[in-house]
Structure 1
Amino acid sequence: MSVTQREIERPLGQGLAPAGSTTGRLTTGAITSGLAVLAVIAVAGSIALRERPFRTPAPVVTTTPDVAASAADATGPANSTAQPSGGAKIIQVDPADRPANSGVVVIRDPSAIGQNLRVAHLPDPALIERTDVGPLPIRAADGRRPFDVYARPWSGARGARVAIVLGGFGISQTGTQAAIERLPAEITIAFSPQGNSIGRWMQAARQKGHEIVMQVPLEPFDYPNVDPGRNTLTVDASADENIKNLRWALSRTTNYTGVMNFMGARFSADGEAMQPMLAELGKRGLLYLDDGSSARSAAPELALKNGVPFAAGDATLDTDRDRGAILKKLDELERTARAKGYAIGTGFAFDSTVDAVASWANEAKKRGIEIVPISALASDPER
């Protein structure tokens, strides 16, 4: 044991050697040394016991109001602050981390914040129109859209991005439950309006972190021999009848960012039939996702005309339901994303698809692919 350690451990007022001994005599230098060591130990202990020792989070400052508003919406009212006037930046920090008197309003990166999963399943009352058919999505009085408020946050990075949207949720109760539990939260889920207990499954999906969309049945070729189901929008129906059927699908649940077609090769190719539908989606602040199965779709032009955020699929993943074939499609999707920066894949909640997508997504993230919600890849005429 060193002398210094003995001096720290001995009771105050007691020497280390008999009186008169030169080596054991208490000196001013020894006392000073011992007190200094005690002070170091006390400081080290206080640092170790602090919740966040010597760590001041490095906030990300932004001047982009749209990004800031999206982040504030995504985290829920408990952590949000109002949009300041005069072009000031928006703040999105914990009160303990807020820089005092800095004059700078700070926002965290949306991907770091993530969704507030405790309230993600709760609809924003300002975005609900109460009707006889049920609750319908609507733009809020302050201009906020369901497309913005219910979007899943992502990094905003410019690397290779892939969005995957799987439909048919709500048809099979056991299949829906298993898929929600199995799929990574970055995968977008599409509910069929023909399904059951959609409100319950919406809550489960949102609490898991998924962004969701609603499927709308549109007329395919050879209809009604090929039938998308109840309340299909058709070319020969009146605009009023099609809007009525569209609103039925929209009323089936809440908290979704937009809709995607279910079938609809004939309907989507007819601009006159599509126009009232896209106008309704634009009025309600919803995304339209075209699964990309029809090369003659009039949706891209009509979406732009009606102020509708728009995205189109690059590949259908499970035309062949074999797991190996689906994995090959996913690899092709990755190559597309690396070539042009992004890619969109669509499919259905078949067991083989869910298994392949879950496995591939986890590996793709390790290769630097960012899996993003469909809203992240939509072309938005309002931005």
Structure 2
Amino acid sequence: MREELYRPLGLDRTVTKDASKARRIRSHVLLGLSGAALLGGSLASVLLQPDFAPPPAPAPLAIVAKVEAPAAPKGPTIVRPSEGGGVTIADGDGVIRQSEGLDSVQTGSVRVLEPGSLRQSPSFAHLPEDALLEGSAFGRLPVRAGDGRRPLDVYAGAPARAGGTRVAIVVGGLGISQTGTQKAVQNLPPGVTLAFAAAGNSLDRWMQAARRNGHELLLQAPMEPFGYPQVSPGEHTQTVASAESGNFDALHWAMGRLTNYVGVMNFMGARFNSDPRALEPFLGELSRRGLLYLDDGTSPRSVSRDVAVAGSTPFASSDLVLDEDRTSEAIARQLDTLERIARAKGTAIGVASAFDTTIASIARWAKEAEARGIEIVPISALAYDPEARG
């Protein structure tokens, strides 16, 4: 009975030799299996552990700049007058642009947006900006800066202060007569635009004086008149034939004579301004360099406005020549006429030359006109500018 009570607990006191041997065999087997299981589990843990070693350093990225080849030159541009009074321009890609005639765009009614920070500080207005110049065989020529700024933006004079009646007056021929140039720079109000003749003298000195006094500047380039070469504006005349062939050596010579100007004005050039085939590449060259073109308005056969609008070139045209008669009385009458034009349409542009009577008459009229609510503004403020922002 006592033996039966102990059997369930494995406390059997009477163990045979065979039973003892069997238990030892079972113990060894269980011990071996336990060891194998432990070893297998350890091995699995090692194999399944994540790899904490630092990843290999990535290969350096190669930075390749995409450089586009310059566009191939297009075929010749065809420019012809259109039946509606404008011009039709077909370029080398077959794209046709049509202007709508002289009345489609009223220069003088479209204001160039004030460039804000793009405009030079008055303290540095007499200093050319290197970013707006490129070297050439003819000296430093104006060019758009790499960031898109144009000489037209940077060298522009102070804009209109209000939206009232505005008049731009351009006095040309500066640099030819030293006394006349000095009087124009010193006696004319800052709003008057000064145009320097490319054939003038001491142009850099006069440029700096004019810019310090707040004037906006233009360059007068000799251009082919009717009757050329018997009638000539002088050496380095930009001819119709040279412009049609894409030769702008004469223009570049003139451009290299001065800096800090916003555009080019014709000196003579009635024949040139009447030929669309010469004007289209010529105005394209000015636009490419970030300049405007001012037609002095002396030729009734000029098509410069149409070609400028069709080609998206900043442009202005004079309404009146102020001193064809150089007497003080005649100039005063012309200035009164200019004021009436401005009051009728909001703006007006007049051109004149740097004669003593002209300078004195304009200076006197300007003071009186301001008291009557007329604001004298630089030419850029009244130019058609297809690139104006805002």
**TM-score scaled by length of structure 1:** 0.70
Alignment counterpart, residue 271 of structure 1, candidates 259, 269, 276: 276
Residues 183 and 359 in structure 2, CA contact (< 8 A), matched pair in contact too: no
- 1:234, distance to aligned residue in structure 2 (A): 1.6
- Residue type matched to 1:182 in 2? N
- Secondary structure at the residue paired with 2:124? coil
Alignment counterpart, residue 363 of structure 1, candidates 349, 363, 368: 368
Alignment counterpart, residue 212 of structure 1, candidates 210, 217, 220: 217
- Secondary structure at the residue paired with 1:249? helix
Alignment counterpart, residue 135 of structure 1, candidates 137, 140, 163: 140
Residues 163 and 377 in structure 1, CA contact (< 8 A), matched pair in contact too: yes
Residues 142 and 255 in structure 2, CA contact (< 8 A), matched pair in contact too: yes
1:259 and 2:264 matched: yes
- 1:227, distance to aligned residue in structure 2 (A): 1.3
1:332 and 2:337 matched: yes
Cα distance in 1, alignment partners of residues 161 and 299 from structure 2: 30
Higher mean displacement: 266-275 or 229-238: 229-238
Cα distance change, pair 75–245 in 1 and its aligned pair in 2 (3 A): closer
- 1:218, distance to aligned residue in structure 2 (A): 1.1
Residues 127 and 139 in structure 1, CA contact (< 8 A), matched pair in contact too: yes
Residue of structure 2 in register with 1:12 after alignment? none
1:161 and 2:152 matched: no
Equivalent residue runs for 1:183-202 within 5 Å: 183-202=188-207
Cα distance change, pair 359–259 in 1 and its aligned pair in 2 (3 A): same
- Secondary structure at the residue paired with 1:175? helix
- Secondary structure at the residue paired with 2:240? coil
Q: Which runs of 5+ in 1 are unaligned?
A: 1-65, 77-115
Cα distance in 2, alignment partners of residues 238 and 314 from structure 1: 26
Residues 71 and 153 in structure 1, CA contact (< 8 A), matched pair in contact too: no
Equivalent residue runs for 1:55-70 within 5 Å: 67=113, 70=115
1:172-196 CA-to-partner distances (Å, cap 9, x unmatched) read 1122112211111110000000101
Residues 234 and 242 in structure 1, CA contact (< 8 A), matched pair in contact too: no
Cα distance in 1, alignment partners of residues 310 and 255 from structure 2: 21
- Residue type matched to 1:222 in 2? G
Residue of structure 2 in register with 1:72 after alignment? 117
Equivalent residue runs for 1:342-381 within 5 Å: 342-381=347-386
- Residue type matched to 1:122 in 2? L
Residue of structure 2 in register with 1:283 after alignment? 288
Q: Which runs of 5+ in 2 are unaligned?
A: 1-111
- 1:301, distance to aligned residue in structure 2 (A): 2.0
1:55-102 CA-to-partner distances (Å, cap 9, x unmatched) read xxxxxxxxxxx956x1213353xxxxxxxxxxxxxxxxxxxxxxxxxx
- Secondary structure at the residue paired with 2:352? strand
- 1:242, distance to aligned residue in structure 2 (A): 4.4
Cα distance in 1, alignment partners of residues 310 and 153 from structure 2: 19
Residue of structure 2 in register with 1:236 after alignment? 241
- % same residue: 56
Cα distance change, pair 178–238 in 1 and its aligned pair in 2 (3 A): closer
- Secondary structure at the residue paired with 2:199? coil
Cα distance in 2, alignment partners of residues 170 and 131 from structure 1: 23
- Residue type matched to 2:250 in 1? N
Count of residue correspondences: 277
Residues 317 and 326 in structure 1, CA contact (< 8 A), matched pair in contact too: yes
Residue of structure 2 in register with 1:174 after alignment? 179
- 1:220, distance to aligned residue in structure 2 (A): 1.1
Equivalent residue runs for 1:79-94 within 5 Å: none
Cα distance in 2, alignment partners of residues 310 and 134 from structure 1: 25
1:296 and 2:301 matched: yes
Higher mean displacement: 373-382 or 293-302: 293-302
Cα distance in 2, alignment partners of residues 288 and 156 from structure 1: 24
Cα distance in 2, alignment partners of residues 302 and 331 from structure 1: 31
Cα distance in 2, alignment partners of residues 364 and 242 from structure 1: 44
Larger radius of gyration: 2
Equivalent residue runs for 1:219-230 within 5 Å: 219-230=224-235
Cα distance change, pair 284–313 in 1 and its aligned pair in 2 (3 A): same
- 1:304, distance to aligned residue in structure 2 (A): 2.1
1:308 and 2:353 matched: no
Cα distance in 2, alignment partners of residues 251 and 318 from structure 1: 29
Please, what is the CA RMSD of the aligned residues? 1.5
Cα distance in 2, alignment partners of residues 193 and 288 from structure 1: 15
Cα distance change, pair 205–238 in 1 and its aligned pair in 2 (3 A): closer
Q: Which has the higher contact order (CA 8 A, sep 6+)?
A: 2
Cα distance in 2, alignment partners of residues 119 and 273 from structure 1: 36
- Secondary structure at the residue paired with 2:278? helix
Cα distance in 1, alignment partners of residues 151 and 312 from structure 2: 14
Structure 1: which 4+ aligned runs deviate by more than 4 Å?
Answer: none
Cα distance in 2, alignment partners of residues 177 and 188 from structure 1: 14
Cα distance in 2, alignment partners of residues 362 and 251 from structure 1: 35
Cα distance change, pair 75–145 in 1 and its aligned pair in 2 (3 A): closer
1:257-298 CA-to-partner distances (Å, cap 9, x unmatched) read 001111111111011111221110010010100011112212
- 1:237, distance to aligned residue in structure 2 (A): 3.3
Residues 168 and 348 in structure 2, CA contact (< 8 A), matched pair in contact too: yes
- 1:132, distance to aligned residue in structure 2 (A): 1.9
1:304-334 CA-to-partner distances (Å, cap 9, x unmatched) read 2333111000000010000110010000000
- Residue type matched to 2:268 in 1? M
